Structure 1
Amino acid sequence: MTLTYGNASNEVIDKVTFFYMNYFDVSPLNDLAADFFFNIPAVQYVEGLTQDFPRRPSKTYLLYFKHFPKFLTGDVQGMAHAVDLLYLFDAGNLDVLKMVPYPYNANSCGPVDKALKYKYMHMLSAFVKTGNPNKGLGGDLICDWPPFDPQRRSYLQFSEFSEVKNDVNGDRVRLWRERIPMWIKQYP
């Protein structure tokens, strides 16, 4: 699937607008942009990596960082682009401002963000070392997160109360894959 559809009629634009005005997490525009630039391509990517499943077992893990950091101030909500880097690296205040161009208050980084940072760093370092994010470098169980496969479509929704779910943003993926192409044919 490609996300390039060419010109869209006003009817198609109205239908997509209606969808996002009624189904959003952060805001209609933020969610539309996140889906177009990040979420849908990420799903396409992991599907491509697992296309030989079940013949070849999957070693691909999909993580959806769904957390609203308290240290971001102003109008920024949710996990904005590149903010996950603040959970991965120890960065001083000046480094943060270079990496993440959002209003930031270091004093608002509370125990939840610190715990998430610890867990995120350990999951990713375990994945880099072993190919499995579930067991920490000391052998401790970090989470119970199955690899992505095209049937279950499992992913880890990473937040204060992380949980394994299936079919990340499924309604939005189907919008871009099925409904928009259908509408473009229906309303040229």
Structure 2
Amino acid sequence: MNHFDVSPVNDLTADLLFNLPAVQYVEGLTQDFPRRPSKTYLLYFKHFPKFMVGDIQGMAHAADLLYLFDAGDLDVRKLVPFPIDPNNWGPEETALKYKYMHMISEFVKTGNPNKGVSGLSTCDWPPFDPQRRSYLQFAEYPEVKNDLKGDRVRLWRQQIPMWIKQYPIDEASPNM
């Protein structure tokens, strides 16, 4: 398994707990678009930290906090309950940390994260709107993309409900 492979169980969990709710949330915040311009930005932190060891492959929940705060090793272990090896934190991780900290602090100060991104990369991150559905895929080289996990979001929102209607579960069935 290379570091870009993620298990189907992790994908399922990420969809149900993070991806689908995040997309639904930003859609709700931008429902008045274009009448009211969007000030909502969607970010997908796609990075595979070298300090994560064991079975965790990819950006685990709350691991982005290591890029946002100056936390020591003991604090990190309290914040991120995953096996880590702080000795694997290298220059790439430090550079990414400063990009992330700068971008988030710029967003907090101004409401627009682009000053934090444009000075450190070549992307222009537009606010989310229901038509373009833009988001920032944040990694060593940030990239603006559209329709976060679109196929999987459509699976959960359209295909699975359709299947449930087509193939209802018979509660009286002895096979259950």
TM over 0.5: yes
2:18 maps to: 38
Letter in 1 for 2:111: G
1:128 maps to: 108
1:170 maps to: 150
Q: Deviation at 1:26?
A: 1.1
Q: Deviation at 1:141?
A: 6.3
Q: List alignment gaps of at least 5 residues for structure 2.
A: 169-176
Once residues 119 and 90 of structure 2 are traced to their aligned partners in structure 1, the CA distance between those partners, rounded to angstroms, is 24
Give SS of 2:114's match.
coil
Letter in 2 for 1:31: D
User: Which structure 1 residue ranges, 4+ long, deviate > 2 Å from structure 2?
Assistant: 139-143
Letter in 2 for 1:129: K
Once residues 161 and 141 of structure 1 are traced to their aligned partners in structure 2, the CA distance between those partners, rounded to angstroms, is 9
1:72-105 per-residue CA deviation (whole Å, 9 max, x = no partner) reads 0011111111000000000000000000011111
1:147 aligns with 2:127: yes
Q: Deviation at 1:184?
A: 0.3
1:100-154 per-residue CA deviation (whole Å, 9 max, x = no partner) reads 0111111101111111100000000000000000114xx9466410000000000
1:76 aligns with 2:76: no
Q: Deviation at 1:161?
A: 1.9
Letter in 2 for 1:30: N
Preserved CA contact (<8 Å) 1:155 1:167: yes
Q: List alignment gaps of at least 5 residues for structure 1.
A: 1-23
What is the root-mean-square deviation of aligned Cα atoms in Å? 1.7
- 1:153–1:122 CA distance, 2 compared to 1 (3 A): same
1:43-122 to structure 2, matched below 5 A, reads: 43-122=23-102
Preserved CA contact (<8 Å) 1:51 1:150: yes
1:18-33 to structure 2, matched below 5 A, reads: 25-33=5-13
Once residues 120 and 66 of structure 2 are traced to their aligned partners in structure 1, the CA distance between those partners, rounded to angstroms, is 23
Give SS of 2:164's match.
helix
Once residues 124 and 35 of structure 1 are traced to their aligned partners in structure 2, the CA distance between those partners, rounded to angstroms, is 24
Letter in 2 for 1:47: E
1:16 maps to: none
1:186 aligns with 2:158: no
Preserved CA contact (<8 Å) 1:25 1:31: no
Once residues 40 and 105 of structure 1 are traced to their aligned partners in structure 2, the CA distance between those partners, rounded to angstroms, is 31
How many residues matched? 164
Preserved CA contact (<8 Å) 2:41 2:127: yes
Once residues 141 and 30 of structure 1 are traced to their aligned partners in structure 2, the CA distance between those partners, rounded to angstroms, is 31
Letter in 2 for 1:57: P
Give SS of 1:57's match.
coil
